[in-house]
Amino acid sequence: MSGRGGTWVLNVAEKPSVAKSVAEILSHAGGGLRSRDGRSRYNRIFEFDYSIRGQRCHMLMTSVTGHLMELEFDDRFRKWHSCDPADLYHAPVRKHVPQDKLDIKRTLEEEARKCQWLVLWLDCDREGENIAFEVVEVCTSANHHLNVWRAHFSALTNREIHEAVQNLVRPNRLFSDAVDARQEIDLRIGASFTRFQTLLLRDAFVLDFAGADGNIVLSYGPCQFPTLGFIVERYWEIQSHEPEEFWTINCSHTSDNGTATFNWMRGHLFDYTCSVIIYEMCVEEPTATVQNVRHQEKLKYPPYPLSTVELQKRASRYFRISSEHTMKVAEELYQAGFISYPRTETDSFSSSMDLHAIVREQEQHPIWGPYALQLLNTESRLWRNPGSGGHDDKAHPPIHPTKFSDGESSWSQDHHKIYELVVRHFLACVSQPAVGAETTVEIDIAGEQFSASGRTIIAKNYLDVYRFESWGDYIIPTYTIGEQFLPTTLTLDSGVTRPPPLLSESDLLSCMDKAAIGTDATMHDHIKKCLDRHYATKDSNTRFSPTNLGEALVMGYDVMGYELWKPYLRSMMECDMKAVSMGTKIKSEVLESCLQQMKACFLDARQNKAKLLEAMGIFFERSNRSGGDTGNAVEIVRPCGVCRESNMGLKRNSNGHFMVGCLSYPLCRNVVWLPGAISEAAITSQICPSCSPGPVFLIQFKFRRLEIPPNYDIDHLGCIGGCDATLRELTEICGTGSRNLPGMTARAQRAAYPSSDSQSGHRRQRSCAHCRQTSHASNDCPSLTSHARGVHSRRSQNPRNDPGQISCHCGEPCTLRTANTENNRGRKFYTCQSRDCDFFLWEDNGNNDGSQRQSASHGRSCRSSSSSRRGGRSRGQRATETDGVAFVSATGERVSGRCYVCGDPSHFANVCPNRGR
């Protein structure tokens, strides 16, 4: 502490500019301001002396840059293919300081060790309170004895800042919990639906909008989608509107005193015949009789004090400035000290605010300064205490000017406009309403009633300063009750009903505000996200239309019956967040109920994904890329037995072949290639009772009849865990989906169809499938060799073309069949006629020498024939050394060192003379 007395206080603001402004204001009262660099070059440290409630303090003022921490899933769930998206509803999440903010964290830790107090100068809303507790977590981890305080302020003015530091309070944990709950809900829901939508649709369709590429993300947000829903719903309302013709009677009367236009008090009729009959009655007796004349005073009231949503709506309506840009400019004006905090739901001033002082600062302005002088003149009687809109967030007052400016040199045109709007709005809301005298005249023509109104402005009052609104004069002649006259015109006119217009940005903000979609500080972000994701467009009149993509997504969920695009779910969530902040609900129960509900919606949406695909198909062409039309890219078959951290999912590659691969690819390359003859595959809810690690879900397969032997069914409910003999046989007969590409490592060949033993690892000891003993594995069974020799011997004693002379080990005669795969097309093989027997023998292997004696064996060894023919080792065999040469795969397993084309151990495949034949 370098000898300084008093209490050392670490002050932390939300932004560097705020830290500098607060330090400059407070240092004037206590001593010179000194500054130095922190670990982060953008977040300097200011030092000065100050007294808090008579206690001498040495103040250290620094800052963060918004949120110090991020919420994210644990590493194993962060990659899109690492898990089933449904798992994200309960996957572990963590809040941590990201890499780009570690320097700020180090600064806070170093400075916190020197201090006894921590004063938080974060924005005084829920989000600011959450950032405050992030700062508290970092600082208290370095110094457990810190006395933590919170400064509440709404503007960077001398009075506000000094009052805040002299009236410190404790931070509000409930506000922070509400934000934590919202962040976690948004993360889980957004990530699950975003991955589902993107993986399902991105590659399945030609997305032809601007900027589309292979990395496009079809995002879903709990606030973003209802925002899109408002746009689509209005668009559908317009599209479904059917114009309907109507008729109305119009009347006018011109005299020396002017012209009055009378409106038919029926409005209009849709029945043409009725309209004609009534009109003919009026034409036959056209004399008009004045039945009533009303004179009354009319008031046009000034607007309520300015909230964030109203600022965005009015900036869009008056200046065509987007809500996002409005908030950016307002934030810059706030940080420079010209307006109060621009994120507030409050639209009423407290009685303790000195509103006259705010007006007094504007007296010197060359344009509205004279009006400010008139407001403060009691004789003008122009002053009026502002009305209340009925909203108060208990954190910040309405937006108002805090410092005079007639325009700064660094300001853009939008800065001038926003500052002018804030000032004029404030001056208007403390002014008297405009006063007018309104006259209404009612007349009778043949029993039909008509009326006309005129207005005379008596006093414009607030309209003198609030140039954005108008209330003009409309003079009509003077009439007396009982007076009669003949109309100048009396016509029967037709018209058609018109649909409502597209939503403007002001309209959209009103819809979001009414439905509690987002907060006042985030609504503009949700609108921008819809535009950035190409879900909607905005024209020059700031009116929104959905794109084909936005309409297709909403249509898909709508057809499912889930109104995920409606505001109801999010409105309930926002009510729950408010309840957490008030302490009537706890964070954990809100998280549990909300996520449980949304997970059920997600699972049902995924089950009905065909409807989303159908909706997309209306607007977009199908692509020839592997797509999400199968939806299997994220459907889980079993846990991965290799990495033991992820799951294996059913996928379809670009050639249309099915496989089951680890979702952690490329970190884990475990894959099970399936028979190439499969035309359809769908995961069922049934679980294999024997294979592990489990659960292993059974798959319903459909095979192409022409590619499998006739004694196999085209429909098969199978298990990829290794226990399914039928799949093993068809894998060998038809080849795998990979078409046994050259260059597969021995491990890849073995993984192409794992046995249940290899998948179970050390969890469970399995008996030999041949002799049922547990002392050895099936691939090492001594009976394999002797049995193969016997088969070879019997085969050599019989004519080649007499398949009836080949007998299986079970005693049944074998049948000669022909393979129909790309690699083995036309090649003949023997199988047992009994479906319970898995005997298999290639015909040409039966005439080979003893080196091929293992070819005639159970179906489990059938891959050895084809792999041996290519020089690879059979599934389940141990790696061997050939001519003293051994090779090791990327996974550490030893593989045979022979040419995989011809099997010759004297050379590799790249120089094989048979390569390409």
Task: List active site positions.
Answer: 341
Please name the amino acid found at residue 718: G
Q: Do strands 7-13 and 117-121 pair parallel, antiparallel, or not at all (unpaired)?
A: parallel
Q: Report the distance separating Cα 429 and Cα 548, nearest Å.
A: 43
Which residues, 6+ apart, have CB-to-CB distance to 309 below 8 Å?
345, 509, 510, 513, 520, 523
The H-or-E segment that residue 45 falls in is strand 45-52
Exposed/middle/buried for residue 142 (C-beta within 10 Å: 0-12, 13-18, 19+): middle
- Both tokens of residue 519? 């907060």
Q: Report the distance separating Cα 372 and Cα 380, nearest Å.
A: 11
Can you spell out the DSSP letters for 690-743? Answer: S-SSS--EEEEEEE-GGGS-TTS-SEEEE-SSS--HHHHHHHHHH-BTTTT-TT
CA 310 to each of CA 306, 342, 777: distance values in angstroms, whole numbers, following the listed order: 6, 11, 76
Q: Report the distance separating Cα 394 and Cα 416, nearest Å.
A: 29
CB distance 831 to 729 below 8 Å: yes
- The Cα angle at residue 306 between residues 305 and 307, in degrees rounded to 5: 120
Biggest distance spanned by C-alpha atoms of the chain: 130
Buried b (16+ CB within 10 A) or exposed e, 421-444: bbbbbbbbbbbbbbbbeebebbbe
CA 34 to each of CA 28, 157, 806: distance values in angstroms, whole numbers, following the listed order: 12, 20, 99
CB distance 715 to 657 below 8 Å: no
CB distance 150 to 170 below 8 Å: yes
Angle between helices 548-560 and 587-607 (to 10 degrees): 100
Q: How many CB atoms lie within 10 A of CB 917?
A: 7
Which residues, 6+ apart, have CB-to-CB distance to 463 below 8 Å?
300, 434, 469, 470, 471
Q: Report the distance separating Cα 897 and Cα 864, nearest Å.
A: 16
Q: Report the distance separating Cα 179 and Cα 580, nearest Å.
A: 9
At residue 422, what are phi and psi to the nearest 5 degrees?
Answer: -65, -45
Q: Do strands 887-888 and 857-858 pair parallel, antiparallel, or not at all (unpaired)?
A: unpaired
Q: Which residue carries 């290519």 as its tokens?
A: 870
Q: How many CB atoms lie within 10 A of CB 696?
A: 26
CB distance 156 to 25 below 8 Å: yes
Length of the chain: 917
Q: Report the distance separating Cα 279 and Cα 332, nearest Å.
A: 62
